[in-house]
C-alpha cells in the first residue's frame, strides 16, 4: 500500500482525536525518522520527549528482545526480576524511596492524587481534602489528571471532574498561599511546564513551596513526566535546586518508547498512604516494561546522556536566541536544557507544516510556541542542521510562500 492509502485507511478506522501530519513513519536511525517513501526527517520532538536515546539503539533493542524471549507479563501477583532491578535503579537516580510502575504518565498522576488523598484521609478520616494545582499546567487526559490540568479548554466538555481542586499561578507564591486552607492536602505542579508554554518553576518558588508544605504537613507533588529523565541537564529538574518532593511522577523517556511511567514517594508518605487493595494495574511493572526502564538507566550512565545535554543545550539556546533576534515575529526564547521554546507573535502551525515539508519534525506548545524536545543524544551538528532548515522555513513563511 502507498503512504496515501495508509493515511486514508487510518482516517476510516481510527478515532479522529488527532490532526495528524500527512506522513506515515516507517523506521528510525539515531536522531532521524524515515517515512514509507524513504524521506528523511530530522526529529526534534522525539515522540514528545520520549525517545531520549534516539532510534534503533542496538543495546536497548537487544535487551527488549532478550526479555521477550524470557517473559513478557505475569501480573503483579508475583515478583519479577526486571521490576526489582528497575525499581532499585530509578530510586538511585531520583533519591526517592518507593516506586509504583504504571503504563503512562497520566496514570502516574492518578496514582499520585490517590496517594495524597489517602495520606490526608488517614490523618483525620475525612474525604473533603483539596489539591492546589497550577494554571496553564498539563497533567494528562484521564479524568483525575484533567481535573488538575490548569486549562479550562481541556476540562470543560468532561465536567464534573473530581472536585476540591484549586488553581494558583506558577512562580507566584502569594497566589498559592491565597488558595491554602485547612483542607489542603497537596500542591501539584510541573517542575517545568511543557504544554503550557515552557515555563520553568523558579528556585525561590520551589523552596517556598517546600517550606510551606513542611510547615503545614501538605504533600508537594512534582510532575517530571516531560521535564525529567535528563532533559534539563539533571536526571530530574527538581534536582537543580535540591527541592525534593514528597511524591514525583515520571514517564516518557523512562522507557524510551515502551509504554511505562511511575510515581515515586518518600518512605514517610509510603508508610501512611496506599496499602494493599488501594491501587493496582494489570500491565504496570511487567517484565518487558521494566526491562526497558532498567536498560534505559544503564545506557544513560554508559553514554553520559546528562553530560551531553549540559554540553549541547547552551549551544541550542544560543542558536534559538539568534533566531529570536533576527525575526520580529519571534518574541523570545525560554526553557531549560533540551526543553526549549520559541514564542511567536502569530500561530506557529504554518512554520511547523513547512518544516515537515523540508524534513524537520517540530511540535507546538499552544498555538504560538514551537517546542524543541529532541533526543538527548543530539550533537551541535544536529542543532546546526535544524537551525538551517528552520531558518529557511521562517523565510518562506515570512515571504508568504
Per DSSP (E only), the strands in 293-345 are: 330-336, 339-344
Residue 360: the pLDDT is 98
- In order of their start, the domains of the chain are 3-56+304-398 (3.90.1150.10), 71-302 (3.40.640.10)
Residue 359 corresponds to which cell in the numbers above? 524534513
What are the Cα distances from residue 75, in Å, to 43, 256, 280, 283, 285? Answer: 35, 22, 10, 7, 8
Confidence (pLDDT) at 397: 82
15 CB-contact burial (10 Å; exposed 0-12 / middle 13-18 / buried 19+) = exposed
The alpha carbon of 267 is separated from its chain's Cα centroid by a whole number of angstroms, namely 24
| pLDDT tens across the length of the chain (401 residues) | 999 999 999 999 999 999 999 999 999 999 999 999 999 999 999 999 999 999 999 999 999 999 999 999 999 999 999 999 999 999 999 999 999 999 999 999 999 999 999 999 999 999 999 999 999 999 999 999 999 999 999 999 999 999 999 999 999 999 999 999 999 999 999 999 999 999 999 999 999 999 999 999 999 999 999 999 999 999 999 999 999 999 999 999 999 999 999 999 999 999 999 999 999 999 999 999 999 999 999 999 999 999 999 999 999 999 999 999 999 999 999 999 999 999 999 999 999 999 999 999 999 998 999 999 999 999 999 999 999 999 999 998 877 65
* Closest among 258, 100, 249 to 186, alpha carbons compared: 249
pLDDT at 324: 95
Predicted local distance difference test score (pLDDT) of residue 401: 58
DSSP of 240-280, one letter per residue?
GTT---SEEEE-GGGTTTS--EEEEE-HHHHTTS--TTS--
Could you please report the per-residue DSSP string of 23-35? --EEEEEBTEEEE
**DSSP-assigned letter for residue 201:** P
Q: Specify the residue for cell string 496506599.
A: 274
The pLDDT score that the predictor gives to residue 51 is: 97
CB 13 within 8 A of CB 357: no
Amino acid at each position: 500500500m502507498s503512504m496515501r492509502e495508509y493515511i486514508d485507511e487510518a482516517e476510516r478506522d481510527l478515532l479522529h482525536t488527532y490532526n495528524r501530519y500527512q506522513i506515515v513513519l516507517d523506521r528510525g536511525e539515531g536522531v532521524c525518522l524515515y517515512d514509507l517513501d524513504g524521506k528523511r526527517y530530522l526529529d526534534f520532538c522525539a515522540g514528545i520527549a520520549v525517545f531520549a536515546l534516539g532510534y534503533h539503539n542496538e543495546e536497548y533493542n537487544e535487551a527488549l528482545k532478550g526479555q521477550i524471549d524470557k517473559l513478557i507479563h505475569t501480573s503483579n501477583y508475583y515478583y519479577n526480576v526486571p521490576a526489582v532491578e528497575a525499581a532499585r535503579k530509578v530510586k538511585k537516580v531520583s533519591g526517592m524511596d518507593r516506586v509504583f510502575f504504571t503504563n503512562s504518565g497520566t496514570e502516574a498522576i492518578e496514582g499520585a492524587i490517590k496517594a495524597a488523598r489517602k495520606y490526608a484521609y488517614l490523618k483525620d478520616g475525612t474525604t473533603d481534602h483539596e489539591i492546589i494545582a497550577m494554571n496553564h499546567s498539563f497533567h494528562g487526559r484521564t479524568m483525575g489528571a484533567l481535573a488538575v490540568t490548569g486549562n479550562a479548554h481541556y476540562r470543560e466538555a468532561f465536567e464534573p471532574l473530581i472536585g476540591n481542586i484549586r488553581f494558583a499561578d506558577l512562580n507566584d507564591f502569594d497566589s498559592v498561599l491565597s488558595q491554602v486552607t485547612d483542607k489542603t492536602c497537596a500542591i501539584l505542579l510541573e517542575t517545568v511546564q511543557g504544554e503550557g508554554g515552557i515555563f520553568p518553576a523558579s528556585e525561590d518558588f520551589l523552596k517556598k513551596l517546600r517550606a510551606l508544605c513542611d510547615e503545614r504537613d501538605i504533600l508537594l507533588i512534582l510532575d517530571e513526566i516531560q521535564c525529567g529523565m535528563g532533559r534539563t541537564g539533571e536526571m530530574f529538574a527538581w534536582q537543580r535546586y535540591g527541592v525534593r518532593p514528597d511524591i514525583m511522577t515520571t514517564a516518557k523517556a523512562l522507557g524510551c518508547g515502551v509504554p511505562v511511567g511511575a510515581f515515586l514517594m518518600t518512605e514517610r508518605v509510603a508508610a501512611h498512604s496506599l496499602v494493599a487493595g488501594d491501587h493496582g494495574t494489570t500491565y504496570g511493572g511487567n517484565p518487558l516494561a521494566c526491562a526497558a526502564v532498567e536498560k534505559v538507566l544503564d545506557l544513560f550512565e554508559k553514554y553520559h546522556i546528562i553530560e551531553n545535554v549540559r554540553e549541547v543545550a547552551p549551544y541550542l539556546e544560543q542558536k534559538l536566541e539568534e533566531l529570536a533576534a533576527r525575526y520580529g515575529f519571534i518574541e523570545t526564547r525560554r526553557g531549560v536544557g533540551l526543553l526549549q521554546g520559541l514564542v511567536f507573535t502569530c500561530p506557529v502551525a504554518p512554520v511547523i507544516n513547512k518544516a515537515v515539508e523540508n524534513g524537520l519534525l517540530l511540535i507546538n506548545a499552544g498555538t504560538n510556541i514551537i517546542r524543541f524536545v529532541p533526543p538527548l543524544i543530539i550533537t551541535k551538528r544536529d542543532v546546526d542542521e535544524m537551525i538551517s532548515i528552520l531558518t529557511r522555513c521562517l523565510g518562506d513563511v515570512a515571504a508568504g510562500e
